[in-house]
Chains A and B, each alone.
Chain A
């Protein structure tokens, strides 16, 4: 696998890992610590958007 593909795969995994942690935080905190959830949600949305772009890039890169 080329370095570019490696980098894309790495970024995708890192984004999934961040979202997994975010999901865990939301599950634990939505009742007791809504302020934290309020902080996490916009960050998570941004991260999801980044992830979508990364996956699309990765797919088009593989098709090329």
Chain B
């Protein structure tokens, strides 16, 4: 962990806090703040801290436990430092969400081990993301930072990405990772009927309309104390977007037929595969709602850019599977170059289907049958950019560009020796000089 860590030390004894600060500075690069009184914690913006060292006995005995109980450290990594050895106290701390417990006096080695446990826990998230959503280390590290920020902050989270990239799985995973004791309410906005939106979202009271035979809690109220995941948010009508905006801004709403205001506190995650900026330009999505939901942002990449990762994951699964499957060389080649249309959803469906049906040696034909799409471009070394340029400037221009690039590349590689370049490119000297002349003209 090379980044600067923001550490908060909650300790009433000046000598101890100085000593701890000194030991921490020896261990890792950190910016350390000290709070020596429990009542001052409320003035501290806890979301900026990666790690908190909390003394249990501040000015009042076991005041640290009260701080844990108040849940102000929820989703923050808290290490308790205490001279108390009573196992009931230790258990209580863990039950209230502490991540680690250091008994005073602690050695520099114990402090180092506690730090290593913290690093492991921090890394655990991105390792789990790698497995769940087939991510590259770089991507999952970036995303895990965003998840941490979201969990300790007040702003909503927006998850974008093509269909099937795992937006719902990620939202559910974040909820599980948060260890929230509240509910996880997941709603696909496209499934909400335009006319019953208010009743679904805010609830209704008995008799408010035909068919309202009893009071019903709405989605927002059901999510109180937990997480609300609004998938496909772009499918909401402008009218319903307005109603939703008001409710999520104020976290207050009225059930249909009721004049009694209700409120709900929840962490909001929204997702869509649509380009919201385009929809705003087209007048189909409210800009104020866009700004409201775009707190922290995560964009999940498609599997097209992760062919190697997918293939390696597939081979690992085969190796771990009790049912042994072997791929024929052409089948292996097909999977290596497969462009996964439908992304993770299709990949997991494919795995499920293959492991259920296939046995022994699997052929290319069997793989093709199991895939729900026709693998489009097999063994294509030209890549997406080529096709984009082809459409933009035409084949003649592209061929000229390729010739020029090849000549320049080979000349550079061969220290401008023409004979070597000709033999490497396998072209005639006539052709070579034609290209050179063209290059010269372009330079002029």
Q: Which A residues fall within an 8 A CB radius of B?
A: 6-7, 10-11, 13-14, 16-22, 24-25, 28-29, 36, 39-40, 43-44, 47
Contacts and interface: CB of A to CB of B under 8 A. Distances in A.
Contacts of A20: 19, 105
Nearest to A12: B83
Given A7-B61, A18-B15, A24-B19, 13 more contacts: A6-B86, A11-B83, A13-B83, A14-B83, A17-B83, A17-B104, A17-B106, A18-B19, A19-B15, A20-B105, A22-B18, A25-B18, A39-B18
Interface size grouping (class) on chain B = 10 to 19
A18 B16 contact: yes
Interface of B: 13-16, 18-20, 22-23, 26, 57, 61, 83-84, 86, 104-106, 108
Contact of A14 (B13, B20, B86): B13
Contacts of B20: 21
Contacts of B105: 13, 16-17, 20-21
Contact of B19 (A6, A11, A22): A22
Contacts of B104: 13-14, 16-17
23 contacts: A10-B57, A11-B83, A13-B105, A14-B13, A14-B16, A14-B57, A14-B83, A14-B104, A17-B104, A18-B13, A18-B15, A18-B16, A20-B105, A21-B15, A21-B22, A21-B105, A22-B19, A25-B22, A28-B22, A36-B18, A36-B22, A39-B18, A43-B18
Contacts of B22: 21, 24-25, 28-29, 36
A10 B23 contact: no
Nearest to A16: B105
